[in-house]
Structure 1
Amino acid sequence: MASTQHNSVAGDRPLGAGGEDKLGFRDVARRIAQSLVDHASDKGLVIGIEGAWGSGKSSLLFLIEDELAKLPQAQRPSVINFRPWLVGNRDALLANLFESLAKEINLVALRAGDASGISKEKAKAAGEALRKFVSALGSAGSAVELAGDAIAFAPLKWIGKGLRVAGSWAKGKSADPPLDVLKDRLVKSLRDLGHRFIITIDDVDRLEPAEVIEVLRLARSVADLPNVIYLLCYDSDILAHSVEQASRVQDGRAYLEKIVQLAVMVPQPEPFRLRQWFGDELRQFSSTRSDDELSRLRSVVDFEGGRQLKTPRSVVRSLDSLRFYWPPIRDGGGDLADLVWLKLIKDGNPALYRWIEDYCATAALLNLGTVRVDDAERAQQLNALHAAVAPEHFADHHYRYFFAEPLPAASVDFAEKGNGFTLFQRVSDVERNAAITGGRLASPDHYRLYFALSGPSHALKHHDHDAFWAAADNSPDRVAAVLLHLHALELTGSLSKADLLLERLKGVGDETLTPNRCRNILAGFANVMDDAYRARPFDHGWIVSLWDRATALVARMVARLDADTRAGLIQHIFGEGRALGWLTTLMRKETFAHGRYGNREKPDSEWFFTNEELDEIFELMLGRIRRLTTDELHTAVCPLDILFAWKQAGDEAGPREMLRSSIETDSGLIDVLEKLTTIRTSSDRGSYSVLTRNNLEAFLDFDEARQRIEALRMGNNALGARATALACAFNEDDGF
């Protein structure tokens, strides 16, 4: 297990004590530190450390300070970390700076002696000169309080390049030396002290434009003292723009050149070094599950990492995002390579990330069959993709291929005049199930996990799959229970999670569909399908229903069984299966496929069962159907299908004989006809009931039944109302 340190989100923080220099800044920092004490001017100096945001300026500054701290005592300067954004207002800047400088001079005095090479007398003299100078400034300006080493400043007005104190010298103070004399004494005492003070100001470019100007004036004019060196960290483009805004000069860079006497550029990290850092850190808290996943991860780091990991900050931010997202993605069965690809894009190009999110959501619904994507929508999505990136972003064919690989239903268009990609293609069952099994971004069950740390509302959870396979290993009754539970979970329209599960089973490999599982699943179907219909009815006669999805799995699962197991299964499900309605539709399908009835015979390669097995199925099912009572027929799912199956299996007289006694009474006739109605749907009328000649005349006299119903509808009683509804159903018969 990875350590807590590697799992912790680092945040956008510079290198600190105990941190590892991953970019090789240490040597640069060492040279800069040595130059600050060996070669820098003793007349005061302003040095700029320049670099873009996230390039590592603060880390370089830390390393410089760390190297200075390692110098021998006699060479070691005093470092003052001045942070102007922590000061309440601009008038307090000067007071805060001199307070810090006074404290450092006092520390120099305490350390003075043979080891430091500094005279205590000179250190005390410098401290005294500083206090007198600041006191005079305060007296001239408005108010200054000296309390020990603490100095508080009142308002000063800054004019041009220097400082002019407000008001005139306070009356009665003429005996004090003039301010310029005190300044000269301070300059001389600091020069005599011979000790260097380095004032660091980080993130100058993050200040407001007006604050930037005040800090620059402070560095160049007010505190232009010997042996005082400023190290300013900033992005020169941003700082120049702030100067132009605040001072209304045309060239902010020219202004900076008057303030900053020496600029040091932060070294540009080599791209491969950033990727190596990223990979080394990633390895500490994550892992891949297969060689394929590892191979794809390498490609992602090379291709997408090469484009997105431009600065140390981009590396840190991407790693932090992955530390946060990886644990729930891993627990949800997700793919590390896909997650890294997505998060690199998110941090580097949020617009492209949003496009991917929208595309994956649409592709998932397309897979589910709840939306349709036409050519216009494809073109619109493709245009949106190109709008989210720079014009030449996808010019490289290799990169284009690796970009398309994690996306669902997408491929590369290599045509010279093509648009780069083909979107919303048809995905085979094998491809879809491979994505689901691998927890890939292209999986309709997992894609939302990568964006919202949760599966889409229509997705099957891993525990759903686990529960089903555990049931398949156990017994038919367990399979039935799991399917009923999933069928109760509605997705959209008539779909349930049970529908989704059965769709997913189409692409499952043979190694998963063991013979024992196949037997239990088929026996489970034979027990539960009618119960599923009763619990949450669906139109099993229209296009594809839960029954159809179960039926589509029969041939493959039966083929996985040996002869003895297959024979036992047929005996069990058709002789004892509780889902008589579903078993009837399965038998009728085979009846037509074998050409036993009608003229729809199919090649034997499309049969579920052999001719001999179908003979046995007829015998088992006819025995069960003949034993049904009229009440049992009425309560069955799809009584009309049962009657047709009875007739088509070779017993044409059986259904008529069963119904003859039932329809002798008026109430019995109405009961039977109500069970034999079918439902039609049209765009203008919706759903309505129909009694057709084609359905009824095989089992009773159609015209006689219709006349009796017409007569019964005249009665002013409950039967009359029911008969009226049936008369309307008769009138809907259009011969189809």
Structure 2
Amino acid sequence: MAQTEINDISVDSSLVDPEKDLLGHANFAKYLADSICKMPFPEGFVIAVYGSWNSGKSTLLNFVVHYIQQKPDEEQPIIVPFNPWLLSGHENITRRFFEQLQNVLSQESSVPKGLKERLADFAAIISDIPLPYAQTGKALAALLDEKDKEAAQLKEEVEDTLIQQQRRIVITIDDIDRLAAEDIKQLFRIFKAMRNFTNVVYLIVFDKEEIVRKTIADTKEISGKTYLEKFIQVSFELPIPDKTSLRRLLFAKLDKIFAETPKQKFNQSRWGDIYFQGIDHFIINIRNIVRFVNTLTVTYPAVKDEVNPVDYIAIESLRVFSPNIYSIIHKNPHIFAGEVNPSIDELNTLLNTWLAQLPDEDKQPIKNLLMYLFPKLKFILGNTYLDEKQKLEWREQLRVCSLEIFPIYFRLSLSADELSNIQRKTILGLVGDEDKFRNHLIELAKQKLPDGTTQARVFIEQLENSTVQEIPVNYIPSVVEALFDVSEQLSLCQNDESNGILDFGDEVIISRFILRLLHQLDETSRFELLKKAITQGKALAIINHEIATLKKQQSQYGVDKFNLEEEWLVNAQHLKELEEMTTKTQVKSEKKDK
């Protein structure tokens, strides 16, 4: 096995050299290797080391092999490495196991002649006996009984041959927890078949819970512990690395990723604050380090000369450990960077609403990261002084809080065409305050997407396509008024030449949404709400569209023909009044323009 360097793309790559040990596994591996070599000649002894995914099991196994190979020749066992996962689903694992055993033993001069042939015969019989026996018919069961007898005879011959040679055989097996259930059972059958072979030791590493889940999911009569004890003589639990070891491992990996970044770009004081008050909270196991480092390995090289490395590490930590917050930042550059716009109170409400969606234990670390990354938020959440004169300095330092630099940090992020559920709920949380809701719609209208549309259009279309029940009935009037009030400012791609002739204009999108909302109210409330909007006269295009829609509705479903007046948005008399009011408002507006 080639030595794996620490700058490999994945932390999942196991180490080989104990001198590179960063998790404290080397000492345990050394003593385990000594025990395997010095223990009395056993009869088919199985040693298991349990550990979760990415806990360092493979590294530990490699370390044990390393220390065994450092023994003097007369003390050194024959090592037979076997990784069944590489064969799963392709070939019979039992047959391949014996082939690997034969290949290794045949290269050892100390192994008695004829052992290879006997192992081949034994393997052929074991491979042909299916699992489970209980599901076979009587005729096949009788045949299998004969094969069992033949296997027992061959097993004695193999045993007699093994006794003639003095060197211990150590079979190392990794990745069995990645196998399918039937493949695992095949492997355990090998342990059972060779359990009494003198001087053969198995060293296997796996995730105990995963093995138990796969192998006894359909067996309620036996516990996981009892099941494993049938095959394993002694087991060890791989300890979870302590915080210091995890931090050492992470920093070693980060050093390789940022090796070509000039040291002067790293503000050590700021890095210490961001790491210990934010990122360190999430570095709780090797799995998290794997996800984090792999992400940075892919994303950083493309922007390494254009971003602040400390800020980039922090932003990517949010991508990995708090994707919802990362998405919110990505979709709201004007909220997090640039001027303090919208109002401080609105920002405070938005931030607290977003943070409230997080698990309690994550709230403070993420809040800390946001304040260190975005001075505007530190000003709001931390009650600190916001020095606007520092903007040029932030730009020069390539900080994410610079609105000009901000997009570079999200080059490898998917399009933000749709708002997340959390963000939509956050916006809907403002409907109780008409001014805040109106201002936020205006803010969304400033956020252009690659196709020229805006986040405001995305928000309205998502709501129109979902359910209006998300908006409480008592808040519908304020939402409708806000939509009428700001519709002209929203400019929902009405003048965008990139839109095809079949695309809907802003008045269609807003009008449809308003109609759906109004249908939740009684007829009188609808009339009064439309009457107020027309009187204010701030969205004549939308108002004209609404009136045209209502007229078309009543002409299409006349009372005389279908008696569907109850389905109209407003009755005939109210529609007449609204139409007259619209005409007066439009005339007044035209005179004002002149």
- Offset at residue 315 of structure 1 (A): 3.4
Letter in 2 for 1:202: D
The more displaced of 292-301 and 57-66 is: 292-301
Distance 1:300 1:258, change over 3 A: farther
* Residues 1:338 and 2:311 are matched in the alignment: yes
Structure-1 residue corresponding to 2:374: 407
Residue 310 of structure 1 corresponds to 284
| Aligned CA distance change for structure 1 residues 288 and 433 (closer, same or farther; 3 Å) | same
Quote how far apart the aligned CAs of 1:74 are: 1.9
- In structure 2, give the amino acid aligned to 1:52: S
Corresponding residue for residue 352 of structure 2: 382
Give the AA of the match of 1:319: V
Shift in Å, 1:43: 0.5
Aligned to 1:353: 323
Cα deviation for residue 685 of structure 1 reads 5.6
Q: What is the match of residue 65 of structure 2?
A: 65
Output the amino acid matched with 1:46.
Answer: V
Query: Which has the larger Rg?
Result: 1
Aligned residue in 2 for 1:718: none
Q: Say if 1:73 and 1:6 are closer, same or farther in 2 by CA, change over 3 A.
A: closer
Report the equivalent of 2:96.
Answer: 96
Alignment of 1:247-286 (within 5 A): 247-249=219-221, 251-286=223-258
Tell me: CA distance 1:345–1:235, structure 2 relative to 1, closer, same or farther (3 Å): farther
Alignment counterpart, residue 362 of structure 1, candidates 313, 319, 332: 332
Q: CA deviation at 1:684?
A: 4.6
From 433, 437, 446, give the equivalent of 2:405: 446
CA separation of 1:375 and 1:165: change in aligned 2, threshold 3 A: farther
Instruction: Classify 1:259/1:375 alpha carbon distance in 2 versus 1 (closer, same or farther; 3 Å).
Output: farther
Is the contact made by 1:49 and 1:265 (CA closer than 8 Å) also made in structure 2?
Answer: yes
Which residue of 2 is the match for residue 327 of structure 1? 301
The correspondence of residues 503-582 of structure 1 with structure 2, limited to 5 A, is none
Correspondences of 1:598-617 after superposition (within 5 Å): none
- Higher RCO, Cα 8 Å, sep 6+: 2
3-state DSSP of counterpart to 2:20: coil
The reply to whether residue 437 of structure 1 matches residue 396 of structure 2 is yes
Conserved 8 A contact 1:91-1:155? no
The structural deviation recorded for 1:432 is: 4.2
How many angstroms does 1:204 deviate by? Answer: 1.8
Q: Distance in 1 between matches of 2:184 and 2:297?
A: 36
Amino acid at match of 2:115: A
Q: How far apart are the structure 2 equivalents of 1:454 and 1:434?
A: 26
- The 2-side partners of 1:395 and 1:492 are apart by 31
User: What amino acid maps onto 2:323 in structure 1?
Assistant: Y
Distance 1:440 1:196, change over 3 A: same
Q: Secondary structure at the match of 1:124?
A: coil
Partners of 2:192 and 2:87 in 1: how far apart? 19
**What residue number does 2:426 align with?**
none
Give the structure 1 partner of residue 155 of structure 2: 183
How far the C-alpha of 1:343 sits from its partner, in A, is: 2.6
Task: Give the Cα–Cα distance (whole angstroms) in 1 for the partners of residues 95 and 414 of structure 2.
Answer: 57
Alignment-mate amino acid for residue 228 of structure 1: V
Question: For 1:559-585, what per-residue CA distance to the aligned partner results, in whole angstroms no more than 9, with x for missing partners?
Answer: xxxxxxxxxxxxxxxxxxxxxxxxxxx
1:215 corresponds in structure 2 to 187
Instruction: Answer yes or no: is 1:299 the counterpart of 2:273.
Output: yes
Preserved contact between residue 213 and residue 246 of structure 1 (Cα < 8 Å): no
CA deviation after TM superposition for structure 1 residue 6, in Å: 7.7
Residues 380, 248 of structure 1: alpha-carbon distance in 2 compared, 3 angstrom cutoff:
farther
Task: Quote the sequence identity (%).
Answer: 20
Equivalent runs, 1:67-216 vs 2, <5 Å = 67-87=67-87, 89=89, 92-108=92-108, 111-112=109-110, 123-134=112-123, 137=125, 153-154=127-128, 156-159=130-133, 166=140, 168=142, 178-216=150-188
Partner of 2:361: 392
Q: Is 2:215 the counterpart of 1:243?
A: yes
Q: Is the 8 A contact 1:37 1:77 kept in 2?
A: yes
The answer to whether residue 17 in structure 2 is matched with residue 43 in structure 1 is no
State the match for 1:230 in structure 2: 202
CA RMSD for the aligned pairs?
4.5
Residues 497-525 of structure 1: CA deviation (Å, up to 9, x unaligned):
xxxxxxxxxxxxxxxxxxxxxxxxxxxxx
* TM, length-normalised to structure 1: 0.50
**C-alpha distance after superposition, 1:578-616 (max 9, x if no partner):** xxxxxxxxxxxxxxxxxxxxxxxxxxxxxxxxxxxxxxx
Q: Deviation per CA, 1:648-667: give whole Å up to 9, x if none.
A: xxxxxxxxxxxxxxxxxxxx
Say which SS state the counterpart of residue 331 (structure 1) adopts. Answer: coil
Residue 37 of structure 1 and its aligned partner are, at CA, apart by: 1.4
Q: Distance in 2 between matches of 1:456 and 1:169?
A: 63
Is 368-377 or 355-364 further displaced after alignment? 368-377
| Number of aligned residues | 427
Distance, in Å, in 1 between the alignment partners of 2:139 and 2:74 is 37
Rounded Cα–Cα distance in structure 2 between residues aligned with 1:443 and 1:19: 43
Q: Which amino acid aligns with 2:394?
A: A
For structure 1, the residue ranges without an aligned partner over 5 or more in a row are: 113-119, 139-152, 414-420, 458-490, 496-542, 544-680, 687-727
Residues in 2 aligned to 1:243 and 1:297: alpha-carbon distance in whole angstroms:
46
Matched letter for residue 335 of structure 1? N
Give 1:258 deviation, angstroms: 2.8
Q: CA deviation at 1:190?
A: 1.6
